[in-house]
Amino acid sequence: MKIPLAIVGCGGMGGRHLLGLKELSESNLSNVELVAVCDLRHDNAQHLADEAEQLLGHRPLVFQDLEEMVRDVPDLQIADITTDAGSHHAVACTAFDLGLHILAEKPLGLTVRCCNRILEAQGRCGQLLSVAENYRRDPMSRLTKALLEASAIGDPHLFLDISASSGNRIIITPWRHQKDRGGMLLDGGVHNADMMLYLMGDVEQIYARIALWEKTRYKAREGGVAGFYERWAGEMPDAVEATAEDTLASVITFDSGAMGQWTQSYAAHGRGFGHKVIYGSGGSLIPGGIRNGTSPSLTLADGEELSGEDLLDLVPDFHLDAITSELFGGDRMASYAMPFPAADRKLLAIEIHELADCIIEGKNPEVDGQVGRKAVAICYAAFESSSLNRPVTLDEIEAELVGDYEADINALYTV
Ligand SMILES: NC(=O)c1ccc[n+]([C@@H]2O[C@H](COP(=O)([O-])OP(=O)(O)OC[C@H]3O[C@@H](n4cnc5c(N)ncnc54)[C@H](O)[C@@H]3O)[C@@H](O)[C@H]2O)c1
């Protein structure tokens, strides 16, 4: 059985989802069919349809309007939303009201209120919602999680996630520097937040400072993200004025009682830096890489270091699910070797497969709307904490009891 799906948003990520669909179509577990593409920009939609014809052997129908698409393709079931972050809530609410299930790219919504509006629309309509969080679906993330669950480092006490990069260059697209369209601390930070949730469990509160250091960003000399945005390189301005903060430093308390430090700068000049590590009562664990196949790295309290195949002895029950096993070539692995684009499209194939499987089997997706909202709420808890100069709890944020920082954005979108 193949569930009819439409890609809504035919920019860089729409193209990557198409590559994910191609990967899935070549597997033994193919369960979707691309029947339509939709974008406000007709040229982007036409281009993606051309690419789809080449890759999949049939041309999806092209639309600029969701309602027209559903009218013309009445058996459509999934809207795969890959529009930019600022439009997710409008597109998702419309798609739910039109009776579609949704796979939404991260962040689920531009603000916490946007996420709540999407969840309300889902409540009205009862369709499924899955957030396309690809990082946790990497086999190396799955192994990291299995090691934590097997108490390989005892009780996790301290989580450190610190990174700094990018200087003053425009990161991928100009909208990623605009507060009202989803700045990098949301667009990139929500991945960190989801991995925090996945590995450490729910966040109780955050105390943070955010700052905008690089007020003007300049066009990068080389194209970004493995050439996925090449087509739009000519549209990139030489410089953009940034309105979204680019640097965050925070202290986090998890529901488990563990503590964390999350610091992320997209305005760091000089040598880039990125490190994640979890310390527990029995050792430390560096999570496995995302889309690079690097094994997790474990150091026990007595100094013994374990990585690669040796880790599998600690998790005898660790098995990847059927689609991940098929695409990555095995149901137990401690590393893998493939280029970024290959790993990228496999992870996208896995998340698309999961939603279709949930529709067929009547199950709820792993990263549903509640989980997707939590990840956005972690980012906004940091932003609101900085505005209020006090720790902010996740409960306050999700219930919209605190929301000064996001109020300006919500006013623009009248959500
Ligand atoms: N998971 C990941 O690793 C990853 C990586 C990159 C981007 N993303 C996410 O994918 C999404 C898209 O990012 P991108 O880099 O492709 O952006 P983009 O700007 O390249 O493309 C967005 C596309 O959406 C279209 N669009 C905007 N509003 C629309 C609407 N209302 N209806 C139909 N089409 C509309 C635009 O015309 C454009 O073609 C974002 O949410 C981003 O965070 C995820």
pTM of the model: 0.97
Both 117 and 149 in one domain: the answer is: no
Task: Please say which residue of 317, 336, 355 terminates a domain.
Answer: 336
Best of 105, 114, 346 for a ligand 1 pocket test (most atoms within 8 Å of beta carbon): 105
Q: Take residue 255 and report the two structure tokens written for it.
A: 């529901």
Claim to verify: residue 255 and residue 143 sit in the same structural domain: yes
How many Å apart are CA 217 and CA 114, to the nearest integer? Answer: 27
**Within a domain: 404:** no
Residues 18, 93, single domain; the answer is yes
Distance CA 198, CA 171 (A): 26
**Ligand 1, CB cutoff 6 Å, lining residues:** 8-14, 38-41, 44, 82-85, 87, 91, 105-106, 132, 134, 172-173, 187
Domain that holds residue 129: 3-135+364-370
Is residue 48 domain-resident?
Answer: yes
252 near 374, Cβ under 8 Å? no
Considering the domain architecture, whether residues 169 and 282 belong to the same structural domain is answered as: yes
245: CA distance to ligand 1 center in Å? 20
- Ligand 1 binding pocket mutation candidate from 84, 178, 230 (most atoms within 8 A of CB): 84
User: What is the tens place of the pLDDT at every residue in 77-132?
Assistant: 999 999 999 999 999 999 999 999 999 999 999 999 999 999 999 999 999 999 99
* Structural domain contains residue 357: no
In a domain, 345, yes or no: no
Same domain, 66 and 116: yes
Residue-wise pLDDT tens digits, 159-175 = 999 999 999 999 999 99
SS3 227: helix
- Closest ligand 1 atom to Cα of 64: 33
- Give residue 256 CA to ligand 1 midpoint distance, Å: 35
**Count of domains in the chain?**
2
Give the count of alpha carbons within 13 A of 146, CB side only: 24
- 43 C-alpha to ligand 1 centroid (Å): 15
Q: What is the DSSP letter of 169?
A: B
Question: What is residue 227's predicted lDDT score, i.e. its pLDDT?
Answer: 76
Q: What is the CATH number of the domain that holds 247?
A: 3.30.360.10
CB 98 within 8 A of CB 71: no
Q: Is residue 392 part of a domain?
A: no
Number of the ligand 1 atom closest to the C-alpha atom of 13: 16
Which pLDDT does position 346 carry in this prediction? 98
Nearest atom (ligand 1) to Cα of 90: 31
Q: pLDDT by residue for the chain (415 residues), tens digit each?
A: 899 999 999 999 999 999 999 999 999 999 999 999 999 999 999 999 999 999 999 999 999 999 999 999 999 999 999 999 999 999 999 999 999 999 999 999 999 999 999 999 999 999 999 999 999 999 999 999 999 999 999 999 999 999 999 999 999 999 999 999 999 999 999 999 999 999 999 999 999 999 999 999 999 876 555 578 989 988 999 999 999 999 999 999 999 999 999 999 999 999 999 999 999 999 999 999 999 999 999 999 999 999 999 999 999 999 999 999 999 999 999 999 999 999 999 999 999 999 999 999 999 999 999 999 999 999 999 999 999 999 999 999 999 999 999 999 999 998 8
93 shares its domain with 55: yes
Q: Residue 278: which H helix or E strand, with range?
A: strand 273-280
Q: Is residue 116 in some structural domain? A: yes
Please tell me whether residues 177 and 105 are part of one structural domain: no
**pLDDT value for 414:** 81
Instruction: Find residue 265's DSSP bridge partners.
Output: 164, 247
Ligand 1 centroid–CA 81 distance in Å is 8
- Both 304 and 175 in a single domain? yes
Supply 306's token pair.
Answer: 């374990």
Residue 413: inside a domain: no
Please indicate, yes or no, whether residues 84 and 206 belong to a single structural domain of this protein: no
- Same domain? For 163 and 126 the reply is no
The verdict on 196 and 332 lying in the same domain is: yes
CB contact at 8 A, 24 and 44: no
